[in-house]
Amino acid sequence: MTANKKKNNVEQSYQISLMKIRDGFEKAFDEFALSKPYILFVDGVDARPSEIESELYFDCISALTNAVLEINTTILAGKNIKIMPLMRPDVMYRMSIHNMNQKLRDNSVLLTWQTTYKDYVRSKLFRIADNYFSKQQDKAYEFEQCWKHYFPYEVYSKKGTIDNPFIEFLRYSTYKPRDILTMLNEMVEATRGEHFTKKDFLAMLSDYSRYVEGELKDYLLIYMSDENFSDFRAFFAYFVGHREFDYNFFMKRHLTYIKYLHELGRKIPSGMNTAQEALQLLYDANIIGYKEKRDDWRMYWSYKERSYANMNPPVKLGGNYLFHLAYAKAFDIL
């Protein structure tokens, strides 16, 4: 198939998808009127079926997203309802959507659970953790009481500061509620005690590592096959004992990895062809962060830097890097 013919087929597929979705929704929403505003969330869009190639998948969801944007501004305008696909930012930026930045600002909601170690007690993440225990009690307790009961110990940072145990949960998470709740579930399942200890937290990390790797696999299977993911995972064997590294170290390890795949006749996983591409992929997936020293060292993580103004933050080249604690544990790098 020639490139022009393939492009024409994609355009035709887009037009057909757009018309079918438009007609279907137009008929459905013409049948009733809503007195209150609603948002119809469409989930599962960023889960690629294994039988569909990555390129075709992105063509399909590009058509879907364009159709949704069209519907929201035409037939649904004034009907008190908006359709909103739930989608990862990295998936959106891979789609061929005209004027993406402006459309994201006008039509999307960026979910963020950011907090700091100093202000964690005021965060929604900590409230979720406290509610995890308080909602299971026979009577009502003040905020923080249940957490303090179940986690009576303290933790210590490398700087020698004394912290609440919740800080450890933040260190091993990417600031998602599911991360925190998974760790809590694993600890409850393993102990059944009246309270937890630091030893219980450390014991939980083995099971949590399997969750972390599963999440990463789900994230990357949009771009690669199961076989590609196995080859991708092999990359981290070159970093055992090196949680921190610089760009030159990374380039050497990447070159060795590429030679290894070539010797086996294996296909290089998507996003891993060059050291620069690989570094960006690991940063996008929150596997690594980079640090810069100004007055003091500051860490940069993709999940913390993402905003409406910077939905796809770039990694710094030539810098100093650090594996996220959760992935360092999952890949036996520590």
- For the stretch 106-135, pLDDT in tens is 777 788 898 999 999 999 999 999 999 999
In 225-328, where do the E strands start and end? 244-246, 288-293, 297-300, 320-323
Residues sharing a CB contact under 8 Å with residue 47, sequence separation 6 or more, in sequence order: 218, 222
Q: How high is the pLDDT of residue 231? A: 96
The pTM score is 0.85
Q: How high is the pLDDT of residue 200? A: 95
AA letter at 226: D
Query: How far apart are the C-alpha atoms of 100 and 234, rounded to whole Å?
Result: 35
Query: How far apart are the C-alpha atoms of 8 and 2, rounded to whole Å?
Result: 10
Q: How high is the pLDDT of residue 134? A: 96
Asked if 85 contacts 65 with a C-beta cutoff of 8 angstroms, the reply is yes
Residue ranges of the chain with per-residue pLDDT less than 70: 1-11, 14, 18, 21-22, 25, 32
Question: Which tokens belong to 168?
Answer: 């450890």
Question: Which tokens belong to 60?
Answer: 């399909």
Q: How high is the pLDDT of residue 310? A: 81
Say whether 156 sits in a helix, a strand or coil: strand
Question: Which tokens belong to 17?
Answer: 């998808």
Q: How high is the pLDDT of residue 10? A: 62
Q: How high is the pLDDT of residue 201? A: 96
Residues sharing a CB contact under 8 Å with residue 172, sequence separation 6 or more, in sequence order: 179, 183, 205, 208, 325, 326, 329
Burial class (CB in 10 A: 0-12, 13-18, 19+), 233: middle
2-17 pLDDT, tens digit each: 656 655 666 677 677 7
Q: Please choose, from the candidates 112, 129, 118, the residue with its C-alpha nearest in 3D space to the C-alpha of residue 183.
A: 129
Residues sharing a CB contact under 8 Å with residue 262, sequence separation 6 or more, in sequence order: none
